[in-house]
Chains A and B, each alone.
Chain A
Amino acid sequence: MNKVLRKRLLRDLRANIGRYLALFLLFVMGIFLVISIVGSSEMIIQGTENQKSKNRVEDGQFTVFLPLCDDDLSALTTDGTQIEPMFSLDLKADDHSTLRLFRNRNSIDLIQLDDGVLAAQDGEAVIEKGYAEAHAIRIGSTVTAGGISFRITGIGSVPDYDMCIAKFSDTAVERTAFGLLFVTGPQYDAVKEHADLNAEEYTYAYRLGNTTDDALKEKIKQIKIDPEQIENRYFRETIDDLLKDRRDMENGINDLKDGAEDLAEGLDELRSHNQDLHDAADALFAQYLAQANQTLASQKIVLTEENYVDTLEALIAATHSSDLAALKSSLDELAEFRQGIYDYTDGAASAADGSAELADGVGELQDNMDELLDEVFDMEIENLTSFVKAEDNIRIAAAAGDVIMDKNAGLVAGIIILALFAYVLSVFVVHQIEQEQSVIGALYALGVKKKDLMLHYITMPTLVAFCAAVVGAVLGFAFGVESQAQDSYAYFSLPVFDVIYPPYLVIYALVLPPLISAIVNAIVINQKLSRTALSLMKNEQSAGSYRQFSLKTKSFPTLFAIRQLVRESRSAMAMMAGMFVSIMVIIMGLDCYVMCNAVKRDTINDTKYAYQYLYKYPDKTPPQDGEAAYIKTLSTDCMGYTLDVTVIGIDSDNPYFDAKPEKGKNKAVINSSLVERFGYQIGDRVTFSDYAADTEYSFTVTGISQYSVGFTIFMDIDSMRELFGQEDDYFNVVYSDKALDIDEGRLYSVTTKDDIARSASVFVKLMFSLVATLIAAGAVIFCVVMYLMMGVMIDRAASGISLIKIFGYRPKEIRSLYLNGNLLIVAVGALVSVPLAKALMDAIYPSFICNVPCSMKLNFPWQLYVILFAAILLIYFVINRLLIGKINRISPAEILKNRE
């Protein structure tokens, strides 16, 4: 019997070839899309993993002020850790784009060439493929950067710039604005000689040995450098400013010591002349005494130092001579003078001794003060300026991270679509069973078992699903995967990956469609085949076959249309489900389009400044016409992804941001992007992380700024300085509406409004193909499901249509009875499905962009809803028109065949 039944399969196929073909194509499209999306995601995920292994991707990287010395490198690599310098220079190309120059890599983050060879000699370079593509650069082309010409010998990519952005804070890849160049070591050194040294970045990549990232980081942090070694004058300025107080104190102590020493030396010098003074005073006294003796020689009187006082007093008393009194007075003054000299020299000697002690004391003070200053002002600083683990590096494996959500969404969406298609298929099978129920009853009566018939009726949909799955899978792997991956290739810097065939995906593609089809059909068919042979043979309509309810309407067409709708509820449900799924797909595309356009539009509108100068070495005072601000990057978690949150400290009168942050270290105004993504509101407590410092910062939201660029919070600049321990006048970014004259060496970057506009436009271009694909796929599903379901409704109503044709109904009246009710389904379905699908898609949309810190404005303009609704109705009317022919082909005599 089974053999006989099998023969019917081909006849059934031939009889319904159009219908099965449409369903076949639907399944093919569904599997093709799943394979394309999931397969390309897997290709990129696994390809990235393979590339990471093959090209020895880093475990992390760190940047230092000064290149590590050999001893430091030896100390860091004793545990088997590999470290390779990835020093770079940013060079300006002729079109003002930036090319980051590296040496060829030896052991980490190796260059994967798509074409050509590595640079082997001076003047040669390998260029990053994205930049090459955007600038139409080929092997043999010449690229000029930093005033130096390079002949391109190779085009490729590196795993540490999978997302080729200049700064970690950049939100979008701009192939036209930034790329990489790889040259030989000597060539790099030669370029460095010509370039501004300030621009060189001392970054090292590492691959861990028997240690951990944190342990390595701690080791690197132990490496101190003397700031004096750093030649960058702006860095020196900064350091000098930081150490000004120490230097003042050091200089004071030094001056004090020098003075003490000078004093000691002077006094010592003075003391060295004491004896001369003594001798001179003695000689002067002796000379005067000798002159007095000469005068008194006639009186036989000899005056001495010891007797002159008594002798002269005796003589004066005897003679009352005024001359003798004058002589005595002179000798007394000389003696007193001599004693004064003696006293002075004694004092000088003591002072010399004291000053020597003072000098010694000041010397000791200086020594102690140096130790004290070393404690208070650390003259050595950590060489480490940044440490980024590979897992935190958004440039690494970014494409793989980007498509993970695509993969998951594709797998889930695939199941939903396949279930829908299987249900659509089951509607046909049920229709077929209903048509054949008397035959089925007869077969039951002849002994055919239910399971044989189940198998028979499940076989065709299962075969259709399986064949479609095979074709869809083959087409998907052959064309879809590569095609779908173009979006990733167009954005990320990836080598060309080989298509892979993940076993789970092959099983998913080949097994799931027939399996879902078999299950759905088995469930639906089982009920239909559960009736008795007699009931089937009599073609009985059980009382419960149709929902019985009263209708009050007096309009017969309305009444009939409602009854018809209820009768065809299964098809109507399939049509509604198809409409909902297809509208979901279309709305996903429209959401994508609307969001990308909103990001572009709002970013441009919200960027009020013309120039943003980001300082690497901040100045003491902002330049004239510049609005100083303090900017710092924190992080937040979004569905497992770490996203940057920019904190901007501004003055209350900053004209470039529509935010008035209150004073307070824990108060902040958040931007609309954060509100859209996380639903924060005023009064909420929000927390962001500084992973580098292992610190979390919490803020109370005091306001919401309609500023849509990235994730941003605004603080009062003084409060922010206080929070992050900066000086009262610190700033590191300046905004301006005109170009400012700021030394380039002091700056980290200059961003113009044009740059921002260009960057914001990237997503619109990138997502266009995806948007088009989604809308086209949704429209196809919508059209096919609607056509098939409306078609099957007509098929099921063929006898009814035939009947009323016999009664003399005119075509227009028939259409009004059998087709116009569908207008109600479609119109109501659209009115329900569009907002419901929109709400659902908006709810899950954040998961699609969880790795992108951007605003998420998904609001459709009302015109878009009107267009969507009008398009749905238009498609309905077109399909309606197509189905009129089907109605016209139903013969009035059709009813006469029902003779049993």
Chain B
Amino acid sequence: MYLQVKDVKKSYGKDTSYVQVLKGISTGLERGQMCVIQGTSGSGKSTLLNCIGGLDTMDSGSIIVDGKEIFGLKPAALSDYRRDNLGFIFQFYNLVPNLTVRENIQICQHIAEDPLDMDELLETLGLTEHQNKFPAQLSGGQQQRCAIARALIKNPKLLLCDEPTGALDSKTSRDILILLEAINAKYGTTMLIVTHNNSIKNMVHKVIIIKDGLVKKEYLNETRTPAAELEDL
């Protein structure tokens, strides 16, 4: 299993403000799989994503990515873990506003040991003509495509997507999902997508539903629907 999550617990605060967000989550993901984590607000799905991404520490449990345990890693090691393994896509793109599309992508290209070809990626993502534009000059979809390109340029083994279509309209959302699907197919990138959108689960290999800090349900999607055919996005 490429990603193994075992009995992960995570809490915040003390005494009266103590909240246990993750109460012992265990799950896993195979290499090259696309996976959706669903759940209501406060269920712990983003916290789980952050723990997997090494952005947040867990109280206990184990997360093994590609055979490497990340629990207990020091910040520098976590940094290297993210650098070598992960790509991130955020709901609000988080592009650096004073950098062009190409330069935003260069942020990750710069630290990648074996980056993808920039021009090919730009072409794949339909950004060639926009590569010298600044984020403020782009539509939301273009910005998210830029963010995806930035995440992909270093050819990550695991792509973590936090509400990647949350800020986009239906059509643009579909375009982005088609793109993610194509990338998964082309590069074999393992993807973990946190979303509220109920339709997206139909296009991925695996679905994990979290409620109150626990995995309520997880299943493999035997009948995947191509992103282009998804409804109610």
- Report the contact-size class of chain B (Cβ under 8 Å from the partner): 35 or more
29 A-B pairs with C-beta separation under 8 A:
A543-B136, A546-B97, A546-B134, A556-B106, A556-B109, A560-B103, A563-B98, A563-B99, A564-B98, A800-B96, A803-B94, A805-B79, A806-B53, A806-B82, A807-B82, A807-B83, A808-B80, A808-B81, A808-B84, A809-B111, A810-B83, A892-B54, A892-B55, A893-B50, A895-B90, A895-B94, A896-B90, A896-B162, A900-B92
Q: B96 is contacted by which of A543, A557, A803 (Cβ under 8 Å)?
A: A803
Whether B91 and A807, one on each chain, are in contact in the complex, defined by CB atoms closer than 8 angstroms, is no
A133 contacts partner chain B, Cβ-Cβ < 8 Å: no
Whether A807 and B135, one on each chain, are in contact in the complex, defined by CB atoms closer than 8 angstroms, is no
What residues of B have a CB within 8 angstroms of the CB of A898 in the complex? 90, 92, 94
Across the A-B interface, the 4 shortest Cβ-Cβ residue pairs: A808-B83, A808-B82, A567-B98, A541-B136
B137 contacts partner chain A, Cβ-Cβ < 8 Å: yes
- What's the nearest-Cβ distance from chain A to residue B116, in Å? 15
Whether A899 and B91, one on each chain, are in contact in the complex, defined by CB atoms closer than 8 angstroms, is yes
Scoring A residues 502 to 542 as 1 if CB is less than 8 Å from chain B, else 0, what string do you get?
Answer: 00000000000000000000000000000000000000111
- What's the nearest-Cβ distance from chain B to residue A320, in Å? 171
B108 contacts partner chain A, Cβ-Cβ < 8 Å: yes
Within 8 A of A (CB), among B61-92: 76, 79-84, 86, 88, 90-92
Q: Which residue among B46, B99, B109, B135 has the maximum number of chain A CB atoms within 10 Å of its CB? A: B99
In whole angstroms, what is the CA distance A808 to B136 when docked? 25
- What's the nearest-Cβ distance from chain A to residue B74, in Å? 12
Whether A807 and B108, one on each chain, are in contact in the complex, defined by CB atoms closer than 8 angstroms, is yes
A559 with B106, Cβ < 8 A, contacts A799-B94, A807-B111, A813-B111 known: yes
A106 contacts partner chain B, Cβ-Cβ < 8 Å: no
B132 contacts partner chain A, Cβ-Cβ < 8 Å: yes
In whole angstroms, what is the CA distance A896 to B160 when docked? 13
A319 contacts partner chain B, Cβ-Cβ < 8 Å: no
A621 contacts partner chain B, Cβ-Cβ < 8 Å: no
What residues of B have a CB within 8 angstroms of the CB of A307 in the complex? none
B107 contacts partner chain A, Cβ-Cβ < 8 Å: yes
In whole angstroms, what is the CA distance A678 to B233 when docked? 82
Within 8 A of B (CB), among A759-807: 799-800, 803-807
Which B residues are within 8 Å of any A CB, using their own CB? 46, 50, 53-56, 76, 79-84, 86, 88, 90-92, 94, 96-99, 103, 106-111, 132, 134-137, 162
- What's the nearest-Cβ distance from chain A to residue B119, in Å? 14
- What's the nearest-Cβ distance from chain B to residue A552, in Å? 12
Chain B minimum-CB-distance residue to A555: B110
In whole angstroms, what is the CA distance A563 to B95 when docked? 14
What total of chain A residues lie within 8 Å of the partner, measured CB to CB? 36
A896 with B98, Cβ < 8 A, contacts A807-B82, A808-B82, A808-B84 known: no
Chain A minimum-CB-distance residue to B137: A543
In whole angstroms, what is the CA distance A545 to B136 when docked? 8
Q: Which residue among B84, B86, B94 has the maximum number of chain A CB atoms within 10 Å of its CB? A: B94
Q: Which residue among A542, A566, A811, A892 has the maximum number of chain B CB atoms within 10 Å of its CB? A: A892
In whole angstroms, what is the CA distance A892 to B56 when docked? 8
Chain B minimum-CB-distance residue to A544: B136
- What's the nearest-Cβ distance from chain A to residue B229, in Å? 30
Which A residues are within 8 Å of any B CB, using their own CB? 540-543, 545-546, 548, 550, 556-557, 559-560, 563-564, 566-567, 799-800, 803-811, 813, 891-893, 895-896, 898-900
In whole angstroms, what is the CA distance A810 to B111 when docked? 9
Q: Which residue among B82, B83, B110 has the maximum number of chain A CB atoms within 10 Å of its CB? A: B110
Whether A807 and B107, one on each chain, are in contact in the complex, defined by CB atoms closer than 8 angstroms, is yes
What residues of A have a CB within 8 angstroms of the CB of B107 in the complex? 556, 560, 803-804, 807
In whole angstroms, what is the CA distance A125 to B82 when docked? 88
In whole angstroms, what is the CA distance A809 to B107 when docked? 9
Q: B135 is contacted by which of A541, A560, A563, A566 (Cβ under 8 Å)?
A: A541
- What's the nearest-Cβ distance from chain A to residue B86, in Å? 7
- What's the nearest-Cβ distance from chain B to residue A898, in Å? 6
Chain A minimum-CB-distance residue to B150: A807
Whether B103 and A809, one on each chain, are in contact in the complex, defined by CB atoms closer than 8 angstroms, is no
In whole angstroms, what is the CA distance A280 to B136 when docked? 155
What residues of A have a CB within 8 angstroms of the CB of B97 in the complex? 541, 545-546, 567
19 additional A-B pairs beyond A541-B135, A806-B88, A808-B82, beta carbons within 8 Å, are A540-B136, A541-B97, A542-B136, A543-B137, A556-B109, A559-B103, A563-B99, A800-B96, A805-B79, A806-B55, A806-B82, A807-B108, A809-B83, A810-B79, A810-B83, A892-B54, A892-B55, A896-B50, A896-B90
What residues of B have a CB within 8 angstroms of the CB of A566 in the complex? 98
In whole angstroms, what is the CA distance A468 to B219 when docked? 65
Q: B134 is contacted by which of A543, A556, A899 (Cβ under 8 Å)?
A: A543
What residues of A have a CB within 8 angstroms of the CB of B94 in the complex? 799, 803, 895, 898
Chain B minimum-CB-distance residue to A564: B98
- What's the nearest-Cβ distance from chain A to residue B186, in Å? 22
Q: B92 is contacted by which of A556, A567, A892, A899 (Cβ under 8 Å)?
A: A899
Q: B111 is contacted by which of A559, A808, A895 (Cβ under 8 Å)?
A: A808
- What's the nearest-Cβ distance from chain B to residue A801, in Å? 11
- What's the nearest-Cβ distance from chain A to residue B55, in Å? 5
What residues of A have a CB within 8 angstroms of the CB of B83 in the complex? 807-810
Q: Which residue among B55, B98, B103, B137 has the maximum number of chain A CB atoms within 10 Å of its CB? A: B98
What residues of A have a CB within 8 angstroms of the CB of B96 in the complex? 563, 800, 803
In whole angstroms, what is the CA distance A553 to B204 when docked? 41
Whether B98 and A546, one on each chain, are in contact in the complex, defined by CB atoms closer than 8 angstroms, is yes
In whole angstroms, what is the CA distance A230 to B55 when docked? 104
A808 with B86, Cβ < 8 A, contacts A563-B98, A896-B55 known: yes
What residues of B have a CB within 8 angstroms of the CB of A895 in the complex? 90, 94
In whole angstroms, what is the CA distance A811 to B79 when docked? 9
In whole angstroms, what is the CA distance A881 to B75 when docked? 20
In whole angstroms, what is the CA distance A563 to B53 when docked? 28
In whole angstroms, what is the CA distance A744 to B223 when docked? 124
In whole angstroms, what is the CA distance A400 to B31 when docked? 86
In whole angstroms, what is the CA distance A448 to B162 when docked? 34
What residues of A have a CB within 8 angstroms of the CB of B54 in the complex? 892
Whether A550 and B55, one on each chain, are in contact in the complex, defined by CB atoms closer than 8 angstroms, is no
